[in-house]
Amino acid sequence: MPAAQKWGSMQDYFLISEFAKLRNVNINSLRYYEKLGLLRPAYIDKKTNYRYYLPEQVTVLNKIILCIQLGIPLKEMVNMIDEDGNLQSQKLLEQGKLLAQQRIEEMQNNLNYIEMSLKSIEGNKKFAGKQSVYPRYFHERTVIVTGYIHRQPLIKKRMVSEVAELYKDAQKNDFFPLLPAGQLIDIDPSGEMRYRCFLEILNGKKGHPRLVTLPAGEYSCVQANLTMNTDLPEIIRENWPEHESSAVIVDNVMSEKYSFKTRPSELQRIRLTENRARTL
């Protein structure tokens, strides 16, 4: 380490405790940055082992803190130090810019989800406590779906496993999936039902094989508290006995309070014309 006299008087230096306070970091953190080779003290007193820092080194500390805030591993920052001991600032900032943009996109998606959820809660209040079938308008929705699983209603464990795979697929394709999930039941004119799981997507891109568009329009709806013993086909037959091509979306009802004991859901049925059937 260079001698203090070569850099001016000791008044030009910060003690490690003083330097740490400049950005409200822990002294042990500074020692860790030193160990990594990212921020070595400008001077170490050989007799006392005290560490001293120059004002100019705050710039390096700022970059370290930026890396931490952006989630850049400090070991990656070490790799941006060249053979002469210089930090490649432009490369670091370019990577930081990319990560910051990704964070902004994530935060915007989260904000959109919160706003949509609050809007859904307000909308559900209008239909709270409905005991019979009622009409309800829905805007177009984009969902990512599983393949047809089997011809019986999904048991909870299987559904959770299928949804977990859907969630992974959505993240892999940079979609923003919404939880909780639901079921999409396709009904043919004979009354036969086929089941799929779905997750609604905020930013779905057309062309993905698992994306399905739920058409805008007026749906015929009924509420139900689903349990392990709920007979979904029976609920559907009781409320819509007519045989015709249709789809039933089994969606969770978001409310002001969430109960761990019940699963309030809304069954949303829409008749399928030839054009609508193509979207599903």
Residues 40-90: tens digit of each pLDDT: 999 999 899 999 999 999 999 998 998 888 888 888 888 888 877 778 888
Whether residue 143 contacts residue 214, with contact meaning beta carbons closer than 8 Å, is answered with yes
**Is residue 217 left, alpha or beta, with left meaning phi > 0 and alpha meaning psi from -120 to 50?**
left
Place of tokens 């406590």: 129
Kindly report the average pLDDT of the chain as a whole number.
85
Which band of pLDDT confidence, cut at 50, 70 and 90, is reported for residue 5?
very low
How many CB atoms are located within 10 Å of the residue 161 CB?
13
Partners of 252 in beta bridges: 265
How would you classify the pairing of strands 14-15 and 51-53? antiparallel
CA distances, 123 to each of 137, 139, 163, 218, 223 (Å): 11, 13, 25, 14, 14
Lowest mean pLDDT among 115-119, 142-146, 150-154, 214-218: 150-154
Residues 206-259: tens digit of each pLDDT: 678 889 989 999 999 999 988 777 888 999 999 999 888 999 999 988 888 777
Lowest mean pLDDT among 6-10, 39-43, 166-170: 6-10
Tokens, residue 31 = 């020692």
- Tell me what pLDDT residue 268 has: 96
Torsion of CA 147, 152, 155, 159, to 10 degrees: 10
User: Has residue 4 got a pLDDT over 60?
Assistant: no
- Tell me what pLDDT residue 29 has: 95
Which band of pLDDT confidence, cut at 50, 70 and 90, is reported for residue 138?
very high
Task: Give Cβ neighbours of residue 247 (< 8 Å, ≥ 6 apart).
Answer: 184, 185, 186, 187, 214, 269, 270, 272, 280
User: Has residue 92 got a pLDDT over 60?
Assistant: yes
Lowest mean pLDDT among 29-38, 62-71, 259-268: 259-268
How many CB atoms are located within 10 Å of the residue 63 CB?
20
Tokens, residue 70 = 């952006």
List the end-to-end C-alpha distance of the chain, in Å, as a whole number.
Answer: 70
Which long-range contacts does 21-27 make (Cβ < 8 Å, 24+ apart)? 22/58, 22/61, 23/58, 23/61, 23/62, 23/65, 25/61, 25/65
- Tell me what pLDDT residue 2 has: 42
